[in-house]
Amino acid sequence: MTNIQPFRAFRYDTEKVSSAQVVTQPYDKITPQMQDRYYAASPHNLVRIILGRRENSDSGENNVYSRAASHFRDWRQQGILRQDSQPSLYAYSQRFTPPGSNSALERRGFIALGRIEDYSAGVVYRHEQTLAKPKADRLDLLRATRAHFGQIFMLYEDSGQIESLLATSAEPAIAVTDEYNVLHRVWPVSDQRLIHSVQTAMNDKKLIIADGHHRYETALTYRNERRVAASSPPSQLGTAPYDFVMMTFVNMNSPALVILPTHRVVHSLPSFSEETFRNAARSFFDVEDVNPSLDAAHSAAMLRESGRAGTSILAVAANRAFLLHHPNPNCAAQAFTGLSLRQQNLDVVQLHKCLLEKVLNLSEESIHNQQNLSYVRDAAEALSQVRGPDARANIAFLMNPCRMSQVRDVAFAGEVMPQKSTDFYPKLLSGLTIYALD
C-alpha cells in the first residue's frame, strides 16, 4: 500500500530572497558552470547545500557536508527558510515546451511525503541500475543535514482522478521560471478532507521511480541505519520521520509526461575503423549507409520514421553514418544472456549489448565507469563531438526515446534498464519545498 503524508515544508521566504535566485536543478544535473552561476546568484542559493564546493583545506570536521549542515541551520535561524504552519500537500505544475517542439505542455503533480519501502514489498519499483559512488555522497549529505532538499520523481497510474482533486484556479505560493524556460508553480494544500481524499486515492497505487534512484536508495539505507540505532519495536516501524522521503507524484498516463533520449558518444578507443564497425554491426542489424552530414533535426526525423517498425539506432562517425535497424534474432541472442524479452526489445539494451560490448568490445565495467563512454542529451552536441577539426570522439549513437509503456512493463516485472536509459523532461526543481527530519 502506498502511504503518503502531508508535511510542514521549509520554504524560502520570498520577502527575503527571490525564488529564481535560490532554487536549482537536481544535484546530478548541475554542471561546474551551473554551480558557478548558482553561487553567484545568491549567498542563500541551495547549491551551497546540495552541491557545495570542495576546498583544499577540507578536513574531517570542516568539509562540504559540515558546511551544508551549517548553511541549513543558519538559514533557518535567520528566517531565510521558514516552516509552514500546517501539514500540507503541495500541488506542483510545470509549463514547458519540449526540446524540438513548438507545442507547450503542462505537467501536474503533487509533492508529499512517501513512505520508504523495500523493493521486495511490491510498492516502489525502480527501472534503472544505480552506482555506489553517487549513493555514498548523498548518504553523507543526508547524515549531515538530516533533511531532503529535492523530491524523488514518482510515477503512479490512474485516469486523472487525483489531478482533478488538486486542480485550482488560485494564485500559486511559488512561481519561478528556470534556466530552461520552464514555469514551476506550487500551491500548498492544507484542507484535511482534500488531503484524505488524495491519500485514499493513492492507497492502491504502485510507484515507479522516474528520477532519483540514487537518492531513494540512499534514503532507504539511512532509514535502516536509524532503525538500528533507535531499536524501534516492530509496532512503530514505518512511522518515524526517517521512514519517509519527499516525493513528487505524477500520473504516468499524463500526455505531458515527456521522455527524451540520452545519446551515447564513444571516445578514446585504441583503434577504430568506420568500415570495420560497419562490417561487425551487420552481424546484429541491417545496416544502411545514410548521408554522413545529416544534422540533428534530420537525425531525429530519420530515427522517428524508422523506429515505427522497431529498433532503430543511428551511428555517426567522422566520415560515415549508418542507420541500424531490424535486429538479427539469431545473432543477437548471443548478447542477451539473462535478459528477458522485455529488456531485449529495448533500443538501449540492443545498443549496449550488441554494439558497445560485442562490436566495440567495451566491457560492462568500463561502461559503468564511463571510461570510453559519455552520455549526451543534445543530438547536435553528440554530432559535434565526432565531426570537425576539434572532434575527439570515435562514434556517436543517436536513439529514439524509450516509451512510457516500456518503462512501466520493465519496472513492474522487477527488471532494470541500463543507466541513463530515460530522461524525463523537465526536471523537478530542488528547493521548492524542504523536508527536515528533525
Q: Name the DSSP class of 430.
A: B
Digits of tens for pLDDT over the chain (438 positions)?
Answer: 899 999 999 999 999 999 999 999 999 999 999 999 999 999 999 999 999 999 988 888 889 999 999 999 999 999 999 999 999 999 999 999 999 889 999 999 999 999 999 999 999 999 998 777 788 999 999 999 999 999 999 999 999 999 999 999 999 999 999 999 999 999 999 999 999 999 999 999 999 999 999 999 999 999 999 999 987 676 677 899 999 999 999 999 999 999 999 999 999 999 999 999 999 999 999 999 999 999 999 999 999 999 999 999 999 999 999 999 999 887 667 789 889 999 999 999 999 999 999 999 999 889 988 899 999 999 999 999 999 788 899 999 999 999 999 999 999 999 999 988 999 999 999 999 999 999
Which among 89, 109, 88, 106 has a CA at the least distance from the CA of 98? 106
pTM of the model: 0.94
What backbone phi and psi angles, to 5 degrees, belong to 378?
-85, 120
- Give the whole-angstrom CA distance, residue 137 versus residue 63: 12
Contact 45, 80 (CB under 8 A): no
Give 324's contacts (C-beta < 8 A, 6+ positions apart).
281, 284, 285, 286, 287, 288, 311, 312, 313, 314, 315, 355
The per-residue DSSP string of 342-371 comes to HHHT-HHHHIIIIIIIIIS---HHHHHTTS
Instruction: Supply 161's cell numbers.
Output: 482522478
